[in-house]
Amino acid sequence: MQVTVKLYATLTRFGLGERAGTPFNIELREGATLCDLINLLKIPPEETRIIFVNGIIKEPDYRLKNNDQVGLFPPIGGG
């Protein structure tokens, strides 16, 4: 199955896009979870804080579906 991924902020370095939020497609096995996607991209789990699938926040054990749109965000600090 194929999903579209967008990485933001410091996670951009793990993707195929050149800038934050640049989408790229990735092939996954049927039944893959968000955790599987994160592992495939070699993103340390502690660096992923918020995960959106089709605009809705999901947990890492969420099973992806073909053509899902995934957005991954790191922990964000502010002041």
Question: Tokens standing for 79?
Answer: 């002041």
Residue 37 is assigned to a structural domain of this protein: yes
Report the CATH number that the domain containing residue 18 is assigned in CATH.
3.10.20.30
Which one-letter DSSP state was computed for residue 36? Answer: H
Residue 13 is assigned to a structural domain of this protein: yes
* Residues spanned by the domain of 32: 2-73
Total domains in the fold of the chain: 1
Cα–Cα distance, 61 to 68 (Å, whole number): 15
Cα–Cα distance, 2 to 20 (Å, whole number): 20
pLDDT in tens, 3-46: 999 999 889 998 876 677 789 999 999 999 999 999 999 999 89
Residue 6 is assigned to a structural domain of this protein: yes
Give the predicted TM-score (pTM) of the model. 0.89
What is the layout of strands, in order, in the sheet containing 69-73?
24-27, 2-7, 69-73, 50-53, 56-57
Residue 63 is assigned to a structural domain of this protein: yes
Residue 79 is assigned to a structural domain of this protein: no
